[in-house]
Amino acid sequence: MMTKTVAIDCFPESVERYRTGFAIVAIDVIRATTTAVTVVAAGRRCFVAPSAEAAFRLAWTLDNPLLVGELRGEKPYGFDMNNSPAELAVRSDILRPVVLLSSSGTRLMHEAGKCQAAYLACFRNYAFAARFVRHHSRVAVIGAGSRGQFRVEDQMCCAWVGAELMKAGYEPKDTRTAEIIGRWRDVPASACGTGSSAKYLVRSNQARDLEFILTHVNDLGAAFLLNRDEVVIAHGDYNQSDPHTPAPEEQLRIDRL
């Protein structure tokens, strides 16, 4: 029997190492994957763009799109709003599809979307995402990274996904993966408050997004997949009272929104 393995890595460029034989789980907790899953869970379509130019090209193909994003923390010129999961969670213009751009998270998702199997995870759905990918024998969990750093919150979420897979019999692919899982697997979500991304949100008067991220942990019973540059959702029965109970695979279905 083939040994099941999980690898943890960082940065969009690292996807190239896992194009063959791996399922990719892309993670950018603050804020791109949190925004994307929040948008799609609400029933809105979401497309990810690797650059501002690509975002505008995508927008031209859609009916009344909402351009959402940040570059180096700032809303790009011509965009409707910043990359804010908290704000998008309460917007009522649900029929407007989102085109999402971020400094590194959407580049990671764009690269992952070229692979045979690519999923998104954040604090909101890490446990379900880990269960959903268990039919793959090799999984690479990749953090977006920023300014050459593997950010605290992404290490945490990667470790949580990796720890769930280890419970299911997966082995760490390398020492670095084992070390990250060992360090972060049992820390609370609030531990990401020490990271530079969380401090930036507070410093730039965007603490509402940090509060949203910290108060929405493992609250979505769904897996989110990349169909090229569109995020789609996979539904399944899920027992929220028992986060370690997997949903039967035969009850999962993929719906294109």
CATH of the domain at 87: 3.90.1560.10
Condensed to tens digits (0 to 9), the pLDDT of residues 72-119 reads 888 999 999 999 999 999 999 999 999 999 999 999 999 999 998 999
Indicate whether 256 belongs to any domain: no
Omega before 31 cis (within 30°)?
Answer: yes
Domain count of the fold of the chain: 1
Indicate whether 254 belongs to any domain: no
Q: Cα separation of 83 and 137, whole Å?
A: 34
DSSP-assigned letters across all residues of 122-145: -TTTHHHHHHHGGGSSEEEEEE--
**Block residue for tokens 């899920």:** 238
Burial of 147 (0-12, 13-18, 19+ CB in 10 A): exposed
Indicate whether 66 belongs to any domain: yes
Indicate whether 247 belongs to any domain: no
Give the residue numbers spanning the domain of 101.
5-239
Residue 2: pLDDT band (50, 70, 90) is: confident
Q: Would you state the pLDDT for residue 1?
A: 62
Indicate whether 157 belongs to any domain: yes
Condensed to tens digits (0 to 9), the pLDDT of residues 211-254 reads 999 999 999 999 999 998 999 987 543 333 333 333 333 333 33
Distance set, CA 244 to CA 3, 69, 72, 223 (Å): 22, 34, 37, 15
The answer to whether the CB of 13 falls within 8 A of the CB of 148 is no
Indicate whether 39 belongs to any domain: yes
Condensed to tens digits (0 to 9), the pLDDT of residues 135-144 reads 999 999 999 9
Indicate whether 218 belongs to any domain: yes
Q: Would you state the pLDDT for residue 72?
A: 87
Indicate whether 176 belongs to any domain: yes
50 has pLDDT over 50 = yes
The answer to whether the CB of 139 falls within 8 A of the CB of 133 is yes
